[in-house]
Amino acid sequence: MAWSNTALLGPQGQVEYVIATGIDITDQEKSEAALRESHERLLVVLNSLDAIVYVSDLETHEVLFVNDYTCNIFGDIVGRPCWQALQTGQSGPCEFCTNDRLVGPDGEPTGTVLWDFQNTINQRWYEVRDRAIRWVDGRLVRLEIATDVTDRKNAERVLRESEEKYRLIFENAPLGIMHFDAAGICTACNDYFAGIMGAPKEKQVGFDTLRSLKDPRMKEAIQAALSGGTGHFEGEYTSVTGKKTRSLRADYNPIVSNDGTVTGGIGVFEDMTDRKRLEEELSRAQRLEAAGRVAGQIAHDFNNLLSPLTAYPDLVRLECREGDPTLPLLEAMQAAAIQMAEINQQLLTLGRRGHYNLEVLSLVRLLDTLLEGMVFPKTVVLEKRFAPDLLPVKGGASQLDRVFTNLITNAVEAMADMGTLTVTARNVYLDSPLKNYETILRGEYVRVDIIDTGTGIHPQVLNRIFDPFFTTKKTDRKRGSGLGLSVVRAVTEDHEGYLDVASRPGQGTTFSLYFPITRETPSESTDVVADIPTGTERILVVDDDPIQREVLTHLLTKLGYVVQSVESGEGAVAHAAEHPQDLLILDMIMDGIDGTETYRRITKTYPAQRAVLLSGYAESARVVEAQRMGAGAFIRKPVTFETIASAVRHALDR
C-alpha cells in the first residue's frame, strides 16, 4: 500500500481531523520490478556482446549509453560527443556520420544502415549497423552496434594478394594455361594460350573441349584429369577455333575440392613449334655436314678414275675410220663420263665446303651474265627485277654461278617448261632474326629470289629437299643426282648466308638466298666517282652495332671527312660536349637512349647542331620528332655509297 495522512486544522490552528488515504500499489510495484529485471537483463545482454554498442543524440551527438565492451576500449564516454570520444583528430561531426540517413522526410526511422570503417584510435576495422530508435524520453536517437572484423579484413587482404599473385603468374607465364570445369568447358585462359590456339581469349572461354575437340588423344588427356588422374598430350595439333597448327606439349591435372570432388581441371601448354623447327634445322645441318665429309672423300678418289673415261675416247676416235660403228659407242661413253664428271664436281663442292677464293662481286652482273647464257623454252617467260643500288657481296663467282644455275634449272623443270620464272635481287636489313625455313640472323643482306609458277613442293617432301642424293625426278625425265640442292645449301652456308624456301602444291615455289653485303668495292670501282660529293668536316657516327660503325666510318673517311664513332647515345652526348661536331649520324634505335633523345640532349648545348638519321625500320614518329627539332634526312639501312655521300653533303650545306 501507498499510505498518506493529511491534518485538517481548526480556526485556532489546532488539528481537528486527520484524513488517512491508502492506495493499493501492488500492480505498480510488480510492473516496476519487471521493468528493473528487464533493464538488468538488457544490460547483461548488451554487456555480454563482443561489440561496440552505444546510443547518441541525433542532434547534439552526445553519448547517452555505452556497454562494457565500449568502455573497455574507449573509457567512460557518456556525456561526451561521439565524434570526440570515438575518433581522433576530429573538430566536429565525422564526415562519414550516418545520422542524416537514419531518419526520413516524415521524421520516422528509415531502417538499418550497414557500413564499415577503420577506427582512427585503435586502427581496428569494424562492420557497423546504425539505426534510429525512440529513447526513453521519446526522442529519436542513434543506436550503433559495431563488430570488430579486423581479422576477416586481413584474411580478405591476404586472399586478394594471393589471388593477384596468381593472376599475375597466370597472365604472364611463358606457358599456355587453361582452366576447365567438371563438364570440360573452358572457363578461363591466358593470352599465351590464346596465342597458341590462334584465336582471342573471348573465343576460347566457353569452348566445350569434350564435344568439340577432334583429336582423340587430347580428349583422353582431359578425361583423365576429370577422373582425378593426370593427362598428357604431345604432337601436332590444329586448333578448332583458330585453325592454327602447332607442335604442342600439354599436361592436364584435376582441381579437387576439400571433400575430394573433382570440380574441373587445369591444362598447361608448351608450344614446341620453334624448338621442333630448330631441332629440324640442326638435324638438316648435321646430315649435310656428314654427307659433305663423305662426298669429299669419295670425289677425291673418283676424280682419278674419271680421267681415262673422259680422255681415252678421243684417243680411240683417232684410230677409227669414218663410219666406224665404234664411234657412236665412244660418243655415248664420253657423254656419260662428262655427266659423271659434273656430278663429281658437285661432290667436290659439297665436300670442300668453303675452300675457294672469295672476291667482291656484283650479283647483278653475275645473274645477268648467267641468264643471258642460258637457253629457255619459248613457253617460259623470264622476268628480272634487280634493285639499281644493289650492294656487293663477297664470294666465289663459280660457286655462286653453280647455285643459281641449279635453282633456275630446277624451277624450269618444276614448271614443265611452261610458266613464268622471276629472278629478283634487292638489299634487305634485318633488325631482328627472321624465323622461316631456317633462322636468319640480324644483319644486312642482298636477297636473291628464284620464283616459279610450277607444281610446288609437298610439305612432306619440303623437309628433305636439301638432303644429299634425295631427288623427286622420275625416270621418264632426266633424273638428277640429288646433289643440286645440297650444293646450293652448302655453298650458301660457306658464304655465311641463309636459305629460305616457301612452296605450296599447285602454286609454285620461291627460293630466297640471303648473302651478307660487303662495303668493299669491286676492283674496277675502287676510286671515288668524280660526281660523288665529298668534304672535310667533322662527323660523329653514333650506332650500337660495331659493323655499322665500321662501315660508315670507312665510307665517310673515303669521302674525305674526319670521322669519329661512339656506340651509344649517352656516349655521343659526352663526346660532343668535349668535341663539337659539324654533323651527327644517328642510329634511331639503340640500347639506352635512342637517336631522338640523343639529338635532344646535344641540341641543348648546340642548338644549331646538324644531324642525319639512320634506321633499319620505316620512318616513325620519333624520326618526325627529331626532324622537327632540326635533324636532316632519314636514310633506311642498308646504306649505299652514293646515298650516304649525298645525304651528308646536303645536311652540311643547308
Helix (H) or strand (E) segment spanning residue 636: strand 634-636
**Backbone region of residue 496 per phi and psi (left: phi > 0; alpha: psi in -120 to 50; beta: other values):** left
Quote the pLDDT of residue 127.
Answer: 94
Quote the pLDDT of residue 473.
Answer: 61
Quote the pLDDT of residue 343.
Answer: 62
Q: Where are the alpha helices (DSSP H) in 107-265?
A: 150-172, 191-197, 201-204, 209-212, 216-226
Quote the pLDDT of residue 525.
Answer: 42
Which residues neighbour 124 within 8 Å (Cβ) at sequence distance 6 or greater? 118, 148, 150
CA–CA gap between residue 199 and residue 203 (Å, rounded) = 6
Residue in this structure with the C-alpha cell 575430394, named with its chain if needed:
260
Complete domains list, the chain, with CATH:
1-48 (no CATH), 49-152 (3.30.450.20), 173-271 (3.30.450.20), 276-352 (1.10.287.130), 359-516 (3.30.565.10), 528-653 (3.40.50.2300)
For 520, which DSSP code? P
Show the cell assigned to 242: 583458330
Question: In terms of C-beta density within 10 A (0-12 exposed, 13-18 middle, 19 or more buried), how is residue 581 classed?
Answer: buried
Quote the pLDDT of residue 314.
Answer: 65
CA–CA gap between residue 410 and residue 415 (Å, rounded) = 9
β-pairing, 443-452 with 434-435? unpaired
Show the cell assigned to 199: 584465336
Is residue 350 within 8 A of residue 487, CB to CB? The reply is: yes
Q: What is the mean pLDDT of each run of 10 residues along the chain (654 residues)?
A: 90 90 86 69 79 94 93 93 92 92 92 92 94 89 94 91 87 89 93 87 88 87 92 86 80 92 92 78 67 60 60 70 87 74 60 58 90 89 91 86 88 89 94 84 94 85 68 51 71 88 88 92 51 87 86 84 94 94 92 93 94 74 90 78 85 88
Is residue 44 within 8 A of residue 34, CB to CB? The reply is: no
CA–CA gap between residue 294 and residue 288 (Å, rounded) = 10
Which residues neighbour 180 within 8 Å (Cβ) at sequence distance 6 or greater? 186, 187, 209, 222, 264, 265, 266, 267
The closest alpha carbon to 586, from 622, 537, 533, 535, belongs to 622
Q: Transcribe 556-588 into DSSP letters.
A: HHHTT-EEEEESSHHHHHHHHHHS--SEEEEES
Beta strands across the sheet bearing 610-615: 562-566, 538-542, 583-587, 610-615, 634-636
